[in-house]
């Protein structure tokens, strides 16, 4: 069981979402995030120009079974790619356990809908 965190461009979110759904990833969470980086962007406020390194991205957070890790990474990487600096990162983190609140099921079974999988 792995957690996959991906920081992607806001403009690529729709593509990544579709790619993940196409790869049979049933659910994931995402957040608007801001980060600091080397890229500087000019902003103007009442005649004063100032630089900001604040970059806006979307963070996708998905926990998958070990057998699905590669295809998830593949889907994100293909869909989020532009080739320009700033495409983002993918992180893979081990997850100890998962519990489905409704049924008390633990482990891999908590991650997917077994009835639908059949």
Partner 1 sequence: MISDMKQFEKKIFALAISIFAIPMTVFAQGATSAINSGNTAWLTVATILVMLMTIPGLALFYGGLVRQKNVLSILMQCLMCTAVVSLMWIFFGYSFVFGKGLSGSTLGFFVGGFDKIFLHGVTISSVVSPAHVPEISFVLFQCMFAVITPALIIGAFAERIRFSGFLLFTILWSIFSYYPMAHFVWGGGWMQQLGVIDFAGGTVVHINAGISALIMALMLGRRRDYRPGKPIPGHSVPFVFIGAACLWLGWFGFNAGSGLTADGLDANAFLVTHVATCVAALTWMVIDWIVNRKPTTVGVCTGAVAGLVAITPASGSVGILGACAIGLTTGIVCFFMVAVVKTKLKYDDSLDAFGVHGIGGIIGSILTGVFASKTVTGGAEGALYGDWHQLGLQVVATLFTIAYSAIITFILFKIVDKLIGIRVAPREEEEGVDIYEHGESAYNY
Footprint of partner 1 (CB under 8 A)? 42-50
* Residue 8 near residue 60, CB atoms below 8 Å: yes
Residue (42 or 85) nearer to partner 1, CB = 42
Least CB distance to partner 1 at residue 34 (A): 14
Query: How far apart are alpha carbons 111 and 8 in whole angstroms?
Result: 23
Residue (43 or 78) nearer to partner 1, CB = 43
Least CB distance to partner 1 at residue 42 (A): 8
Residue (44 or 85) nearer to partner 1, CB = 44
Tokens of 29: 């969470």
Sign of the Cα pseudo-torsion (107, 112, 115, 118, in order): negative
């Amino acid at each position: 069981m792995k957690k996959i965190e991906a920081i992607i461009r806001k403009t690529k979110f729709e593509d990544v979402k579709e790619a993940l759904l196409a790869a049979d990833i049933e659910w994931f969470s995402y957040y608007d995030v801001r980060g600091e980086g080397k890229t500087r962007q000019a902003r103007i406020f009442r005649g004063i120009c100032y630089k900001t390194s604040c970059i806006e991205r979307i963070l996708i957070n998905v926990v998958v079974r070990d057998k699905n890790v590669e295809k998830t990474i593949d889907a994100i990487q293909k869909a989020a790619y532009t080739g320009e600096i700033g495409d983002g990162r993918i992180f893979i983190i081990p997850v100890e356990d998962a519990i489905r609140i409704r049924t008390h099921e633990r482990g891999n079974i908590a991650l997917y809908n077994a009835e639908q999988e059949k």
